């Protein structure tokens, strides 16, 4: 503890670079735009004698006049010291230890200033490619700024003085909509290859251009993504897909050469047999839902991404003589088993995807009690949204979608009148032979016509 303190004091004068301190009237971010929880965190830390700033995406987004997704705080208090100040808090992480402070439903991520890469006494480890696998070296504010990824992410806002500290000309880059890596881009990408994906995500989300010097090494460093644990890649891909700009992001990843064989989930997206139109529509639909503040679920999106693979397998099994429902069921299992091998989509999403898929044939059955039962299904909304995409992409008739829209809006008597009595006669004959065909909840009966 004392040794650390001495190190910190000795280190301070080593870096002569003065931050630009930008006053309220030049940047316009007032204390009121910071969430009450983040203010509670910075105020409490400052009262206890520590430095504390709002940092990262929140400051950048406020400068851009956008609503921040969440608030991160940086401080010179160490994780244990932070935890001692907040009753509802816990230390998480190994690679980077951080503290989560909770107030109500909000969580603030509090990080201790990271030390500079030049410091060799601390707890930092790199692997043979230069990737940092553990990093709990603490340092000064200035060092912390140098360890962040992009200049626009290294702005520190002090809610007490309402000033922004800017060591790397980030405010200017925000104004010029430029994403620029701090330090030597190649070295920084080697330290953490996920920064390549972050660059693409931020460029897509913020509509920024990537500075040429930052962009240049990406083409040759793509392979380094293979050393990143799959779960982290998957999380980063999810952030991209739910950034509100998935369509643009996915195309930019392709343009940067960052997909083939490097990002299993992205290969799945971009290499759908015959399904490109459907996938683009699904991504566009996700972007729109986020813009309208509607909920989005990963399982729903994955179900759309894999649909054309399922559809192709389903059709081919039917062509081999299988009955529609068992064919669909086997198609779903085959496609998911192939995904599991590629490590593209974790298994925890399987059940929901299957449920959405297996309800699809039921939208083509508009007779008897079936539409009534379908509409009562707990997953009806998700299955219906999915069905809508199928119609809009040209896979099914728009008339069918209009029928369901009317059916949803109608009262009971009107619904009865809407039923399609002569639908799929072949199907009806089949049912007469097996009067109690297992039409249990959640299980789809055979499709009445070609899917």
Binding of Mg ion by 68 (CB under 5 A)? no
Binding of Mg ion by 115 (CB under 5 A)? no
Q: Beta-carbon neighbour count of residue 223 at 10 Å?
A: 11
- Residue of minimal Cβ distance to Mg ion: 57
- Residue of minimal Cβ distance to ligand ATP: 57
Catalytic residue from among 61, 135, 144, 149: 149
* Minimum CB distance to ligand ATP smaller for 240 or for 269: 240
Catalytic residue from among 70, 119, 158, 334: 70
Judged by CB under 5 A, the number of residues near Mg ion is: 1
Instruction: Decide if 149 is catalytic.
Output: yes
Record the tokens describing residue 84, joined without a space. Answer: 């001692």
Binding of ligand ATP by 362 (CB under 6 A)? no
C-alpha distance across the termini of the chain, in Å: 68
Interactions with ligand ATP, residue window 70-109 (CB under 6 A):
70, 72
- Interface segment toward Mg ion; rule CB under 5 A; list 49-57, 95-103, 162-170, 356-364: 49-57
Asked whether 125 and 2 are in contact (CB, 8 A), the reply is: no
* Minimum CB distance to Mg ion smaller for 57 or for 275: 57
Task: Give the count of alpha carbons within 13 A of 379, CB side only.
Answer: 22
Binding of Mg ion by 57 (CB under 5 A)? yes
Residues in the chain: 451
* Minimum CB distance to ligand ATP smaller for 235 or for 271: 235
Pick the binder of ligand ATP from 27, 54, 56, 256 (CB under 6 A).
Answer: 56
* Minimum CB distance to ligand ATP smaller for 196 or for 359: 196
Measure Cα distances from 241 to 177, 285, 299 in Å: 21, 11, 12
Measure Cα distances from 17 to 142, 164, 167, 253 in Å: 8, 16, 8, 35
Pick the binder of ligand ATP from 192, 211, 318, 350 (CB under 6 A).
Answer: 192
Interactions with ligand ATP, residue window 298-357 (CB under 6 A):
none
Contact code string over 203-242 relative to ligand ATP, x by CB under 6 A = ----------------------------------------
Choose from ligand ATP, Mg ion, none: what does 366 bind? Cβ within 5-8 Å by kind: none
Minimum distance from residue 131 beta carbon to ligand ATP (Å): 11
The residues, any chain, with a CB within 8 Å of residue 430's CB and separated by 6 or more, are 437, 446
Task: Give the count of alpha carbons within 13 A of 224, CB side only.
Answer: 23
* Minimum CB distance to Mg ion smaller for 57 or for 371: 57
Query: Which string of b and e fits 36-74 if b means at least 16 CB within 10 Å?
Result: ebbbbbbebbbeeebbbbbbbbbbbbbbbeeebeebbbb
Minimum distance from residue 62 beta carbon to Mg ion (Å): 12
Binding of ligand ATP by 153 (CB under 6 A)? yes
Query: Which string of b and e fits 186-208 if b means at least 16 CB within 10 Å?
Result: bebbbbbbbbbbbbbbbbbbbeb
Asked whether 182 and 151 are in contact (CB, 8 A), the reply is: yes
Binding of Mg ion by 445 (CB under 5 A)? no
Instruction: Decide if 70 is catalytic.
Output: yes
Choose from ligand ATP, Mg ion, none: what does 149 bind? Cβ within 5-8 Å by kind: ligand ATP
Pick the binder of ligand ATP from 47, 66, 69, 175 (CB under 6 A).
Answer: 69
Instruction: Decide if 169 is catalytic.
Output: no
Choose from ligand ATP, Mg ion, none: what does 194 bind? Cβ within 5-8 Å by kind: ligand ATP
Record the tokens describing residue 307, joined without a space. Answer: 């649909």
Residue 93 CA to residue 111 CA, distance in Å, equals 11
* Minimum CB distance to ligand ATP smaller for 144 or for 309: 144
Provide the pairing of β-strand 89-92 with 98-103: antiparallel
Binding of ligand ATP by 149 (CB under 6 A)? yes
- Interface segment toward ligand ATP; rule CB under 6 A; list 165-173, 192-200, 304-312, 440-448: 192-200
The residues, any chain, with a CB within 8 Å of residue 70's CB and separated by 6 or more, are 57, 58, 106, 107, 108, 109
Record the tokens describing residue 324, joined without a space. Answer: 């529609």
Provide the pairing of β-strand 209-210 with 178-179: parallel
395 CB-contact burial (10 Å; exposed 0-12 / middle 13-18 / buried 19+): middle
Binding of Mg ion by 217 (CB under 5 A)? no
Binding of ligand ATP by 57 (CB under 6 A)? yes
Judged by CB under 6 A, the number of residues near ligand ATP is: 12
Q: Which residues are catalytically annotated?
A: 70, 72, 149
């Amino acid at each position: 503890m004392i040794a650390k303190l001495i190190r910190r004091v000795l280190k301070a004068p080593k870096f002569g670079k003065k931050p630009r301190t930008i006053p309220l009237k030049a940047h316009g971010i007032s204390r009121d735009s910071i969430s009450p929880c983040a203010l509670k965190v910075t105020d409490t830390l400052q009262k206890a004698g520590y430095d504390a700033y709002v940092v990262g995406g929140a400051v950048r987004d406020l400068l851009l006049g956008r609503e921040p997704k969440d608030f991160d705080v940086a401080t010179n208090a160490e994780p244990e010291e932070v935890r001692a100040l907040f009753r509802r808090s816990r230390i998480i992480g190994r690679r980077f230890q951080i503290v989560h402070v909770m107030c109500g439903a909000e969580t603030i991520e509090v990080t201790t200033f990271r030390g500079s890469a030049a410091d060799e006494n601390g707890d930092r480890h790199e692997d043979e490619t230069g990737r940092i696998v553990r990093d709990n070296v603490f340092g000064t504010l200035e060092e912390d700024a140098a360890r962040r990824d992009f200049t626009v992410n290294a702005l520190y806002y002090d809610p007490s003085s309402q000033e922004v500290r800017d060591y790397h000309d980030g405010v200017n880059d925000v104004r010029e909509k430029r994403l620029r890596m701090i330090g030597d881009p190649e070295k920084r990408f080697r330290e953490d290859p996920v920064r390549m994906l972050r660059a693409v995500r931020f460029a897509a989300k913020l509509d920024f251009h990537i500075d040429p010097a930052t962009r240049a090494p990406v083409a040759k460093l793509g392979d380094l993504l293979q050393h990143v644990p799959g779960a982290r890649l998957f999380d980063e891909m999810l952030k991209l897909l739910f950034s509100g700009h998935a369509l643009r992001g996915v195309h930019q990843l392709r343009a940067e050469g960052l997909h083939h064989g490097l990002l299993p989930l992205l290969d799945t997206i971009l290499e759908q047999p015959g399904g490109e139109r459907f996938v683009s529509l699904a991504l566009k639909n996700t972007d729109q839902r986020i813009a309208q503040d509607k909920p989005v679920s990963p399982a729903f999106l994955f179900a759309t991404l894999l649909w054309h693979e399922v559809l192709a397998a389903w059709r081919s099994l039917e062509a081999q003589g299988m009955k529609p429902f068992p064919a669909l069921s086997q198609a779903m299992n085959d496609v998911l088993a192939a995904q599991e091998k590629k490590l593209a989509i974790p298994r925890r999403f399987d059940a929901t995807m299957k449920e959405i898929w297996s309800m699809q044939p039921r939208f083509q059955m508009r007779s008897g009690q079936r539409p009534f039962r379908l509409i009562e299904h707990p997953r009806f909304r998700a299955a219906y949204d999915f069905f809508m995409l199928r119609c809009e992409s040209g896979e099914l008739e728009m008339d069918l979608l209009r029928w369901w829209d009317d059916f949803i809006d109608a009262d009971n008597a009107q619904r009865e009148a809407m039923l399609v009595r002569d639908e799929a006669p072949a199907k009806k004959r089949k049912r007469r032979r097996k009067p109690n065909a297992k039409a249990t909840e959640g299980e789809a009966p055979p499709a009445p016509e070609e899917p």
